[in-house]
Chain A
Amino acid sequence: NKSHNQPSAGRVPIGNPGMGEAGNFGGNNFMPANGLTVAQNQVLSLIKACPRPEGLNFHDLKNQLQHMTVASIKQAVDFLSNEGHIYSTVDDDHFKSTDAE
Chain B
Amino acid sequence: LVRIQRNKAAALLRLAARNV
Extra 9 A-B pairs, beta carbons < 8 Å, given A84-B17, A84-B18: A84-B11, A84-B12, A84-B14, A85-B11, A87-B8, A87-B10, A87-B11, A89-B4, A98-B11
**Cβ proximity bits B1-20 to A, threshold 8 Å, 1 near / 0 not:** 00110011011111111100
Q: A residues engaging B (CB < 8 A)?
A: 81-90, 96, 98-99
Q: A83-B18, A84-B17, A84-B18 are in contact. Are A90 and B4 (CB under 8 A)?
A: yes
Q: What is the interface of chain B, defined by CB distance below 8 A to chain A? A: 3-4, 7-8, 10-18
Give, as a whole number of angstroms, the nearest-CB distance from A97 to chain B: 9
Q: Considering only CB atoms, which chain A residue lies closest to B17 in the complex?
A: A84
Residues of A within 8 A of B16 (CB): 84
Most buried by A among B3, B4, B11, B18: B11
